[in-house]
Amino acid sequence: MKLELRKLARFEGRKGPLLLVIMDGIGIGRHDESDAVFLANTPNLDRLMQSNLQTRLKAHGTAVGLPSDNDMGNSEVGHNAFGAGRVFAQGAKLVNNSIADGSIFKTENWNAIVRRGLQGHAVHFIGLLSDGNVHSHINHLFALLKNCAESSVPTVRLHILLDGRDVGEKTALQYISQTEQLLFSINSSASLDYKIASGGGRMVTTMDRYNADWGVVKRGWDAHVLGKGRQFRSAEEAVKTYYQEDEAITDQYLPSFVIVDGHDKPIGKINDGDSVVFFNFRGDRAIEISRAFDEKDFHEFDREFVPDVFYAGMMQYDGDLNIPKNYLVNPPAIDRTVSEYLCGAGVKSFAISETQKFGHVTYFWNGNRSGYIDEQLEKYVEIPSDRIEFDKAPKMKAYQITEKTIELLNSGEFRWGRVNFPNGDMVGHTGVMEAAIVAVETVDECIGTLLKEIEKLKGIALITADHGNAEEMFEMKKGVKIVKTAHTLNPVPFIIYDPGFANEYKMAAVKNPGLTNVANTLLNLLGFESVREYDTSLIEFTP
């Protein structure tokens, strides 16, 4: 079905292009000493926030399709919301529903896993062990383990990735303890053999994204599949040893480890006939390890041994590329995205970011769809990210992104574009305040540069964010400062910069505005009527 847009009768947009700027991870915080956005020197944002054409948007919880308003937003669901124009059930909520109604355990893929287990092959679970609810949730793993036990699957092995990013930076032992308690209960009551077999910190083991560093995936493959790596008798021993050897290290950077028996033999190598479930529900850091298991013609690193296994993801992480082939929970079917409507209307656009967020302004923005909607009308630009810890280079590729964006704007070829600056999020995740301040200042400087181009070209800029992060770098608990590396529950700014503004419109009185309200706003400012099925525009035109 062809999607159609109708032009507004009294507003056709500005002469120049419209630019949507997404300040990834820059929310509105408490304006105190924990707030890197407040502490940073941000003359451009300060000026923009005084405008009458600005509001605050909800970027977490139910506003972006997550189970409750206690769930922090993230870049994936945030960009889905921007592009979809309405709320879809997302990630954790989909899995929660599937577990609650039992449908996850009635699928052919789950039944295939159980059958293999009952035939004497091990079932392996790989994923992020925490309750951060951004990539995974420990309760999802526990539900899968309990079903395996109820089905009398004799042998299960866990390959745990330690968080310290979406949860407290040194909380791994807490989650390991909960897991070991469950495993002890299962093993004691049913005479089954369920154990933790390997693991490592998420930023160095298994969970790379956007092909940034395949060495991360190789370290995971070596530990999980081959049983190669530093040996310990338990996951608890591994974590405590790493803590002792480097007091400054945090969970996300803990080296990989392998659990061995009394004869120094790995207890959980992955062998022919086994099943493997990657239990993360979020896609970006699940795709590469899924490719390593699924692809026969694989050249990213030497796998040495490729076991013949039944591999399944919690969800399908890339529907267009069919990664992975097998999965347990269907992804949200996001259709009729704003880019589909604009391509249908023949509007040319560009999308740009560096590697760390390139998939967000393309794949996630387009409703979990790979590739172009219309290659004749769209241009996607990826600036390669540096392979370095982000607190060491907090400016990241912001200047290069800005330079290329200016080139695209001045080409005269594009009616609108979207750009993502990852700095606030990626540097915010490090927990290093000084670096986060530099990151925010860099984004502010680049926004100022872009606004000058927009003014020169007689266009419009929209400035917003997909979720918070850098505005809450630590929290106080019982008088103790706890470094915070996770996303936040804070609102994000939404600002319209329109040098040609002549009171043609004003901010609308939208109840509980969120990220999904941006799509119709964008359409209106391009001179199109709102799409009826989308959430309300943030502006209304004056009589």
Sign of CA dihedral 39, 43, 47, 48: negative
**What average pLDDT does the segment 446-472 reach?**
98
List 34, 75, 98, 353, catalytic entry: 75
Burial class from Cβ neighbours inside 10 Å (0-12, 13-18, 19+) for residue 173 reads middle
Burial class of residue 337 (count of CB atoms within 10 Å of its CB; 0-12, 13-18, 19+)? buried
pLDDT at residue 177 above 80? yes
Whether 94 has a pLDDT exceeding 80, the answer reads yes
Q: Calculate the CA 69 to chain-centre distance.
A: 18
Lowest-confidence range among 141-155, 208-222, 317-331, 366-380?
Answer: 317-331
Per-residue confidence band for 71, with pLDDT thresholds at 50, 70 and 90: confident
pLDDT of residue 70: 87
pLDDT tier for residue 318 given thresholds of 50, 70 and 90:
confident
pLDDT for res 198:
98
- Mean pLDDT taken over the chain: 96
Domains and CATH numbers, the chain: 18-89+334-541 (3.40.720.10), 92-329 (3.40.1450.10)
- Nearest alpha carbon to residue 159 among 44, 311, 19, 375: 311
Based on the residue annotation, tell me whether 370 is a catalytic residue of this protein.
no
Distances from the Cα of 430 to the Cαs of 72, 245, 251, 388, in angstroms? Answer: 17, 20, 11, 12
> Distance between CA atoms of 120 and 110, rounded to whole angstroms?
16
For position 259, what pLDDT does the model report? Answer: 98
Band (pLDDT 50/70/90 cuts) for residue 317 is confident
Q: State the average pLDDT over residues 319-341.
A: 89
State how beta strands 193-201 and 480-483 pair: unpaired
pLDDT recorded at residue 1: 61
Nearest by Cα to 18 from 461, 442, 405: 461
Confidence of residue 290 (pLDDT cuts 50, 70, 90): very high
**How many distinct helices (H) and strands (E) make up the chain?**
16, 19
Reported as type and span, the H/E element at residue 355 is helix 355-359
Which percentage of the chain shows pLDDT scores above 90? 90
Alpha carbon distances (Å) from 374 to 138, 366, 381: 40, 11, 15
Residue listed under structure tokens 């001179």: 527
- Judge whether 100 and 139 are in contact, CB under 8 Å: no
> What average pLDDT score do residues 316-344 get?
90
pLDDT in tens, 29-62: 999 999 999 999 999 999 999 999 999 999 999 9
Report the pLDDT value the prediction gives residue 320, as an integer from 0 to 100: 61
